Each structure stands twice: as C-alpha cells, then as structure tokens.
A and B are shown apart, each in its own frame.
Chain A
Amino acid sequence: MTHTTEHAPTRAHPDRVHLDNGGRARWHPLARQAFLQAVDDGWADPRRLHTEGRRAAALLDGAREAVAGVLGARTEEVRFTHSHTTALHSAVLAAADGRRRAGGDVVVSTVERAAVLHAAHDAAATHGGRRVDVPVDRTGRVDPDAMADALASPGVALAALQHANGEVGTLQPVEDVHARALAAGVPLLVDAGASLGHVALPPSWDLLAADPADWGAPAGVGVLAARGRVRLVLRGPEDPEPWAPGGVSVPAAFAAAVGLQAVAADREAEDARRRALIDRVRATVATVPDVEVVGEPDARLPHVATFSFLYVDGEALLTELDRAGLAVGSGSACTASTLEPSHVLAAMGVLTHGNVRIALDRSTTEQDVDRFLAVLPGAVARVREMLGVGGL
C-alpha cells in the first residue's frame, strides 16, 4: 500500500476529477499533517534565541537536511527560497554573475521555463553577453551535441537544462550534457521543477531548482541547491538571508520537506502505476480523429500527457470538460491571458491550438482516468461541431 491510499483524505468535491496537477497539486496528506504540526510548533521567528524561536529553527534545519538527503546534496548546499520561480531567477543571476569574468553568455534550451529564459536574458544583458537558445526536436528533447557545442564556446558563463519538461513530459539528456559542461568548466543549472518526486534525479547538476507545490506541498516556498564548488554572487539589498530576504515560512518549508520524503518513499510504485495510466491515455487519445499526441513516448515523466486536437478551440474544450467535472491544463493561446501560445509547443513545431495537458496526482484513480477518456472524444466532437469543421 502506498502512502496515498493509507492517508487518502475524503475529497471535498467528489464530483470533480482534477487532472491539472503539474506545478500545483493537491496537498499530500503527510505534507498537510506536517504543515499543521509546524503551525503549532514552528510559528515563531527562527532567528530569535528563545525556546520558541529555537524550536522553529530546529524544524527549518531539519527540513533543509531532509531535502538535502533526497537530493543527494550536503545540507549547506540547499537553500529555501520564496518560490520555485525565485529559485530559478536567483540561480541564473547569481551563477552568471559569479562567472562574469569567463563571459556573459547564458546557454539554454528553447523549452526551459519562462523564468529561466527571462532570467538568462537579463543576466546576459547585464554582462554584455547574449542568451544562446539551443533548439529541440519534435519530441521536445534537446540534442546533447548541440547543447555541448554551445556551452563549450568561448564566453559562456552558465548553461541551463531542465530535467524534464513539465508541459509535455519529455526527459532531457541532463547526464550527458552535465558531463560535457563539466569538461568545459561551465556550471549547469538543472530545473527539476517538474520531475523531482516523480522520477529519479541523477546527481548531474551544479545548481538545481525544485518546486514543492508540484509534489503536493505548499506553494510559497522553493528549493535551490548549489554545489559548493559553484561561485555565486547574489546582488540585492543586504539581508541575513539573501536567497529569501526576510526568511521563509517555517511551516511551508517543513511541509515541503516531509512531502518530498513521502513522495520519494513511494516513487517507484507511483511511477509504475501512473505510467500505465498515461500509456492508456496516450493510446486512447490517439484514436480520436486529427490529434497529435506530443512529447517523447518513452523517455518521459510518468504522470504527464499532452495532445493537440486540430480545428479545436482550446478554451471551448476546457470549458466543455470543466462542465463535465474534469479539470485539465492547456498550452493553447486561446486559453491564456496572452495571445502567445506555449513557447514549448511552438519550439517543438507541434500544433499549439486545441491543446490539452493532464498531470496525474498520487490521488488520481483509474476511475478518474476512465471518466476522462469516456468524456473527451464527445467533448472534442461537440467543440468541432460548433466551429463547423466537418470534412476539413
């Protein structure tokens, strides 16, 4: 039995099936329990010297040590930040600044998270370099040779490559790229925001960022780890905690650590269970007419599936599914506040409209997936009918 089934809470909304768990998942029961415990025991300011403050500090230290244990890092190499986004921003800016004498260029894959792309742009601009974008193939995977060539060029301060892409599930060749980065003397930032807690993390990173909200812990805290050998220069107003000015929430950090230990403990069982469900989703969705199931079919996250339906308005499809009790994600422009579609789908050269993304949580059941697969084809057909696209 997994932690999930042992501790599964009664769903507050049993009629809803939530399949949009990438980057923000239902709290893991043990993370929730840890959070409540830390609200009682760790509410005080951990920088104060009284008993209550020291109790909070002990929870925070324990959390840091626990996260380091799962990452295979030393405790002092791990820092909590205010969010995953902040961790990415700080990692890029501080590592690029620390290596400004080597050059100003920052090498990234085109499917990195927007926070990495924007920070890389800013860091490069500050140090007179440029952001070097390395393209991906149709599955969203970067070519390790192209990445290696780019990062071995003169003037590169830093390279960034995600462990897996959270939008399409594709795993990146981080071990190969890290070996080449090491040979070139360029630090590699690995964004594990979509992968930590879902697949095994190789030790091939110099800087690493992770997202507790993705593994069922609270949002409002992020993880940044940096190997001791990496030179970091973080600019900003003086603060005793420069990576999280003012300090992080002790309950959030404690819950993040307990949640991470919980998902690490049942990771292999949950990988097998969810991979089998996603295999079924990919095979069944592929039988809907005019669909592109995107992302690497094998070397991928176990819990993510993404597909685009030709001639389908993504917003209309999401609304149709939501009405049927199913929450899903999308990278289509028609569903975002911006006009721009997902830069990941665009970089892969796949259809960006009519896009649906699902990410299964540990609490997602086989019945949930059955219900999704039963509803989806009819919903697609109705949306297409509204647009009158029969015969195209």
Chain B
Amino acid sequence: MAGLPEHLLRRSAEAKAKATGRSVDEILAEMKGETPPAPATAAPTGESGSARDLTKEAADLGVPQDLLRRAMIARAKADGTPLPTEAGAAPAAAAAVAPVAAGSPAPMPAIPEGVRTQRLLTVVKAGSIQQTKREPADKVNTWPHLLAIEFVALLVLSGLLFVFSIYVDAPLLEFANFNQQPNPSKAPWYFLGLQELLSYFDPMVAGIIIPGYGLAALAFIPYLDRNPSVRPSDRKLAIMIFTFFVMGAAILTTYGSFFRGPGFNFTFPWVDGIWFDF
C-alpha cells in the first residue's frame, strides 16, 4: 500500500475485519504486505468435476438453486461438455433444501447475515450519444485567437456595407402598376438562372423538375457520397460534379442577368446596356 496514511489503512482494515470476521491486526498486516493473504474463510466451491454441490453453491452465492442449475446447463451446452450429473445433485438438493425451508440452522454462509451483495449481471459498454472522442489535436484558445479574427471580420464587413450604402442607393422604380408590365420583367437575381432555363424548357421542367431535383440532390449529397476521404485528390469525381453544377448555375444566372434584354432576348450588355436591377 504505497504511502497510504495509517489511519485510512486502519479504517479500511476495520471494515474488512467486520465484514469477514477476521482480526483487524491480521488484515492490517496483510494489507501492508507483511504476510501472504490468508485463504478466504469460505472459498467459493471450485470446479469439482461435473458433480458440483448445487445446494452448497446456491447457499454460498445467495442464488436460487433452480437458477443456478439452469445456468450450469446452459454453460455446459455452450461449452459442449456433458451436463452436470443430476444423480448426485438432485437428492442432495432435495435433502438440503428441506432443512433450510424448515428454519433449522443452515450451514455457515460465506456472506454474513445482514450484508446485501450485488451481482454483476452484465457490463453495458458506455457508448456515447455524441462525439466525445478526443484525439490529440493542435488547438488554440478561442480567446483571443478566434474572437479577435471574428471581431475584425465583423468590423470590416459592417464598415464595407456602411460605406457602400452611403454611395449606392437601393433601386426604387415608380409605383407598382399592374397594367404595365416592364419589358423585360426579371425575377430577383438568384432566380435568374431558373428564369433563363424557363426560356429553353417547359415551365414544368424548368420551374419544378430541375430546381426540385436539384435541391433534393443537394440535400442528399452526404448520403450519396459514400467516400470517407476529405482529401481533394481522393474526391476528384465529387468535386468535378459539384463544380460543374455550380458553374452551370453561375453561367445561367450571369446570362439571365446581363445578356437578356427586352422580350428576354439575347443582348450584349456593352451594346444595348444592362437590363438588370438588384
């Protein structure tokens, strides 16, 4: 017992002595490693062949006899060993159970009277519901390293937006007139790719099927892409497909925004001007 305070050791020994019925000094000596541990007063019955004394064992462990027998049979079945002989066990059990039930002095149990014991039924492995795996990672304190960057980003963004807003006014055309559709009529810029598609395909295709399936495909990317690697060199196909669609959307949006004039016909923005409002 490496460097344990004497009084703690003593308290522990006293408790152990009370539980096992041995003397305090004996246990204390054993704890300090002066004498080899004495054999336990009531050693559990060893594997004495297949004919084990069920009654004794049941009494020792405080387990109902029939449960113990069932466990033995199950174990024997699992191990492929012959079943424990019932011949020796059964009469002994019949003889031994009766006096216990009648209340005659039972054989000295290994567990003293009034002490409750727990049996370990099963070990449930602690699986966590969240990511608690901690791999050693190169980390820095959020303060100041991250917060400082965020604060600067916040200031820069606010500043840019404010200055831009001083010089560039948001568009406001004349009052809404439902009888006079402007030519061309364009959706907000982020829908202009779709509006561009609308000039090639049926509304059902350009307005519903393509954006609908596109959005669904986008949402399902993590479940479609089963490649576990995040290294760009391992993900050439995924990157290629995604880039293809992003570039397609960007080209269509640019085309719809700047290369479509009156009647949504093709124009060059540097020839006929820009038919586009933010």
Our verdict on whether A and B bind, yes or no, reads no
